A and B are shown apart, each in its own frame.
Chain A
Amino acid sequence: MIYFLLVTVTLAISFVAQEFLPVLEWAYYARMLLVPAAFYCGAVTVPYPVMLILATATGFVWDARYHVPVVPPNADHPELPFGFTIFLFGLMGSLIQGVRPLFRRGRWELPVLMIGICTLASLMIEYLVISFHRGGLFLSPEMWFKMLMTSLFSMLAAPFLLLLFSRLARWSGYRIRLEGITRKYSYGDSV
């Protein structure tokens, strides 16, 4: 329980830190999406129900802060509805839970890669929804570059976040281990 609270506090801090992360002009205004990266890293360390709770809370606060209700001409509703990030976090969190057993065995490579893929996929889904509303799919090289750079930045942050979460787990006595897996693979004992 203490670990889950620590993850929540880390996510809250990441929201504040996100404000201070600048956009990079040379990368077509890409930026490190620290909050989603922290959520995906947290999602890989917690059980499925806790991940869903975190997805709801993180997605809600993200939309409360960053949702822009831009209503296109001749439409009544915003292109991306309020709460869409909750859906994306739930979906991506469910995907990332698939590599949780690997992470519990101490393998970080695939989870880190998955965090980048999930970031890219969530950006892509948002863009596709926007394109669907506006009609016609238009993907410029700049758009690809921006999405790929954003994902790369998330991947760069991921190992440090995973390290932080494993340290927090050890400090709080939480074992990031699969039910039924032998003790030697658990972080609580080996890290």
Chain B
Amino acid sequence: MSRINIVFLIAFVGLLVWVFLFGQETVQRVQRGAMTFFKPFVAGAQKVEDAITEFGKEKPSVTDVQAQLDQARRERDQLRLEVLRMDELAEENNALRESLNYVKNSPLQLVPARVIGRKPSTWYNTLIIDKGHDSNIAADSPVIVPIGENAGLIGKISEVQGRDSSVVVLLSDETCQVSARIQGSAEQGILSGQRGALRVMPDLKLKYLSKDAVVEAGREVISSGAGDLFPPNLLLGKIKDFKPDAITGEATVEPIVNFDVLKHVFVILPDTLESPDTSESVTRATPTSSP
């Protein structure tokens, strides 16, 4: 190896060590700067991705279109299209009203946010949302979506990247761990994603249950509120199966939310989590539908 190569190698190692020693604040400052530059491209890329996804969807055949046209003509004659449209609007209206009711009635301070980027990382299940420091969002703030009159937890803020962007680590990631209990029973455990679970709807694992627990499939899993990070009674998923081992039991849980179709979410501001009334706020009704 020539002398110049050795000199550069030593300088490289020195630089590397210097970067490794960066404090959290420095890293955040660097990433904030990078996000400011890349944000227009991130938002643009999401639009392109949506357009491509839409383009790739199967188109109906000519025969199907003809059949649909005939059907539409018949329905037009009977004014059924208008009725269907009205029903559709009413349904959408109800769904939006439910979300609005949840937000209005909740004593939690909720910040609505839009998903502007999906799966930016290779190894972590994350989203990027369009709210950051300007909305008083902080790391570890829970992120939820209204489900009927209740709320489903989708993850927590991993990093506030700038004035108007944050990274959400999803519940399907192994590092997002929630203290959870099975509704209607005293069984409590820790719910988290699984490493290497890369399916569209990855199952979650509810660990540290007692080995003799009676756990029925279909039971809802909700947050217990222990640890003060997540409010209690947020919907997490439904039990799929239960396997006891020598010491503890472990249940497989199907998430209540499809993380791939999320477009709008709510971030719970950390100040409101300290309120003693929080536990009441999200315990209102057992949801009957999932998004």
Contact = CB atoms under 8 A, between A and B. Distances in A.
Contacts of B16: 56, 83, 86-87, 90
A182 interface: no
Contacts of B85: none
A130 B24 contact: no
A48 B31 CA distance: 28
Contacts of A81: 20
B173 A82 contact: no
Contact of A61 (B34, B52, B119, B169): B34
Contact of B198 (A29, A53, A66, A83): A29
Contacts of B22: 82-83
Interface string B24-50: 100100110111001001101100110
Contacts of B59: none
Interface string A65-97: 111111111000001111100110010000000
A60 interface: yes
Contacts of A80: 123
B19 A64 contact: no
A142 interface: yes
Interface in A98-139: 123, 126-127, 130-131, 134, 138-139
A139 B199 CA distance: 14
B71 to A, nearest CB: 32
Interface in B171-215: 173-175, 177, 195-200
Interface in A1-60: 15-16, 19-23, 25, 28-29, 31, 33, 48-49, 52-53, 55-56, 60
Interface residues of B, number: 51
Contacts of B198: 28-29, 140, 142-143, 146
A123 B122 CA distance: 9
B62 interface: no
A142 B199 contact: yes
A83 B123 contact: no
Contacts of B120: 66, 68
Interface of B is mostly: helix
B79 interface: no
Residue of A69, A70, A83, A134 with highest tally of chain B CB at under 10 A: A70
Interface of A is mostly: helix
B72 to A, nearest CB: 32
B19 A83 contact: yes
Contacts of B118: 23
Contacts of B124: 68, 70
Residue of B7, B8, B118, B200 with highest tally of chain A CB at under 10 A: B8
A35 to B, nearest CB: 12
27 contacts: A19-B42, A20-B48, A22-B45, A22-B49, A25-B260, A28-B199, A52-B9, A52-B11, A56-B12, A60-B19, A61-B34, A64-B30, A65-B34, A66-B121, A68-B126, A68-B167, A68-B169, A69-B158, A79-B175, A81-B20, A82-B27, A83-B22, A123-B122, A126-B123, A127-B123, A130-B123, A130-B195
Interface of B: 4-5, 7-9, 11-12, 15-16, 19-20, 22, 24, 27, 30-31, 33-35, 38, 41-42, 44-45, 48-49, 52-53, 118-124, 126, 158-159, 167, 169, 173-175, 177, 195-200, 260
Task: Kindly list the 9 A-B residue pairs having the minimum CB-CB distance in the complex, ordered from nearest.
Answer: A83-B19, A64-B34, A140-B196, A49-B8, A28-B198, A19-B41, A143-B196, A19-B45, A142-B198
